Amino acid sequence: MFPSLIYNAWKRLILAYVLSFAVSFLIGALLLYVIDIAPETLFEISTKRLAYALPVMDLGIEAGMDGGILLFFWNSMGALVTISFIYTAALFNPLNIKRSPQVIRKIFCSRGRMKLLCFLPGCLKIESESLRRLYVWLMVPLIGMILLGVETGLSASTARNIFGSYLAGFISLLPHGIIEIPAIALAGAVTFSAHMLIKPKVHRNRIEEVFKDIDAHRNTLPIKKIALIVVFCLLIAGLVEAHYTQPLVTRLVNAA
C-alpha cells in the first residue's frame, strides 16, 4: 500500500486530467462547429508538443528499433524526470545556498521576484521568493496533467474531421491511455504529494520547517517501488500503442 498522501495526490492528478480533457474537448467542438476554425489547425495545435518527439521516433524506427520501445523510453524519461523533482526541491532552500552545487543553488534561490508565478493559485500570499518557487516546482506535475488533458481533449474534438468518426479518435487514446495516464499520474504523485504537504505551511514563511517536512516525506516514500511500477506500466502502454492502438485506428479510418 502507498502512503495516503501519495494516493490522494494520484487521484487529484487523474481528476485534473479528466476535467481538463472534458473542458478542452467541449471548447474544441465549439471552435470547430460554431467559430468554424479549420480542424487541421486545431489538430496541429493540440499535437505541437508531440511534434518535437516525432523526428526522434522516426530516426529510431529507421534504425530498426521497435516503435513501442521508443514510446516507452520517451514516456519513461518524462516520468522519471518528474519523480526527480522531489529531490531537486532541496536546491530551493536559501539556508543551504553555500552548499554544492552553489551555481545551481544561487539560480534557484535568486531573490528576484518572478512576477508570473504570482498569478498561479496560492502564490500571491507566499512572502518568501524561495518558497514561492518551491511551491510552483512541486506543482509542475499538476500543470503537466492539465496540459496533457487539454492537448488530448482538443485532439479528440477533431476526430470526426481528421479520422472520420469520434470513435476512431477515442480509440486512438483509450487502449494504451488506461495504462499510461494512471502511470504518469503515479510518477507525478511523488512530487505533487510534497506540494500538498507543504501547501498549508508555505504561507507562514517557515523556510526551515518546510524543507525538513519535504526531506522527511521523501524518506518515507517507496520511490524505487513506484519508479519500477511506472516504468513497467509505461512499457506495456508503449507496446499497446505501437502494436495494437495504431493498427486498430488505421483499420477504423480505412473502413470509414
- How far is Cα 127 from Cα 105, in angstroms, rounded to an integer? 19
* C-alpha–C-alpha distance, residues 172 and 162, integer Å: 12
Domain assignment of residue 119, given as a range: 4-23+76-255
Proportion of the chain above pLDDT 70, given as a percent: 93
Is residue 70 one of the residues assigned to a domain? no
Cβ contact 133:117 at 8 Å: yes
Chain segment 141-176, per-residue pLDDT in tens: 999 999 999 999 998 888 878 777 788 778 888 889
pTM: 0.91
Does position 1 have pLDDT exceeding 50, yes or no? no
Report CA-CA distances (Å) from 219 to 54, 79, 189.
37, 19, 15
Per-residue pLDDT for 111 more than 90?
A: no
58 belongs to a structural domain: no
- How many structural domains compose the chain? 1
Distance between CA atoms of 176 and 245, rounded to whole angstroms? Answer: 7
Confidence at 91, pLDDT banded by 50, 70, 90: very high
Distance of alpha carbon 120 from its chain centroid, rounded?
17
More reliable by pLDDT, 39 or 6? 6
Does residue 50 belong to any structural domain of this protein? no
Q: How far is CA 16 from the centre of its chain?
A: 10
Residue 173, domain member (yes or no): yes
Q: Name the nearest CA neighbour of 46 among 58, 33, 28, 63.
A: 28
Is residue 48, in this structure, part of any structural domain at all?
Answer: no
> What mean pLDDT, rounded, does the chain reach?
87
Q: Answer whether residue 230 is part of any domain.
A: yes
**Is 112 part of a structural domain of the chain?**
yes
pLDDT tens across 41-79, in order? 888 888 777 766 767 777 777 778 888 888 899 999 999
Q: What is the pLDDT of residues 194-243, one digit of tens each?
A: 999 998 888 777 888 999 999 999 999 999 999 999 999 999 999 998 88
Q: Which of 78-92, 95-109, 127-141 has the lowest mean pLDDT?
A: 95-109
Q: How far is CA 210 from CA 47, 51, 80, 229, 236, in A?
A: 38, 39, 24, 29, 37
**Within a domain: 228:** yes
